Structure 1
């Protein structure tokens, strides 16, 4: 069973250029700066949109950047993509212009949900971002859990 008070917190992103990444998510996804934690030689930038937070770190280490393709990396232990819902994917893409590379789509999933449309794009640091319209939960699932919390 989930602990009392458990709720979603944030996704941490390693950024080649925190300012560029902040501008991308602020301009195209409606996030705004919520806090900056100064660590002396670096800082952590917190962006917020409603209850969703992104935590931006300056990238470090020597691991080579490997751009993700299509809908994101498929290797275990790697985040596949961030995902957002929007009212109109095509209008979003028109507003985005050349600010991000589309890696897959837009695709229509009308065979599953009438009006479900999705596109995947690459953010300034190579993270795949999914943007969808029209997704709805299957109403035959009421969200209840079995006795083990699964």
Structure 2
């Protein structure tokens, strides 16, 4: 088993595609024409985003804020790693709808810095630098 993709409902697929290709390095991998709509697949390495046209359903729960929704069954946020949060923010400029941060988490991991922002459809996107796994990852977290 391996990771496949995240599906996102988009108010405007073109705007969402431009956001993830311009600021996160994704490229179009495929477009599936469904007649009256389409699905766009974006790829970066082994990661895929599947962009769907949004339906007319009302949003489940209140709009996402800070680091994302906390209600069960809702995705909290997408997350990406960068070498420099500050350089990323300089590049994205006014297109960054920051919801939280940037925050430093040096108390947990030296050099860990994170910012959260909204994509064009309101999905919270976390951009971090400096996160590292624990040194001892041999423990099986489900069995101790």
* Same topology, TM > 0.5: yes
Structure 2 unaligned residues grouped into runs of 5+: none
Aligned residues: 143
Matches within 5 A, 1:28-67: 28-64=23-59, 66-67=62-63
State the match for 1:26 in structure 2. 21
The C-alpha deviation readout for 1:95-146, integer Å capped at 9, x for no partner, is: 0001121000000000011000000000000000000000000112226466
TM normalised by structure 1 equals 0.90
CA shift at 1:61, angstroms? 2.3
Measure the CA separation in 2 of the matches of 1:117 and 1:50: 23
Structure 1 unaligned residues grouped into runs of 5+: 1-5
Secondary structure of the residue that 1:93 maps to in structure 2?
Answer: helix
Whether 1:89 and 2:85 are equivalent positions in the alignment is: yes
State the match for 2:11 in structure 1. 16
| Displaced runs of 4 or more, over 3 A | 143-147
Q: How large is the RMSD of aligned CA atoms in angstroms?
A: 1.6
Secondary structure of the residue that 2:51 maps to in structure 1?
Answer: strand
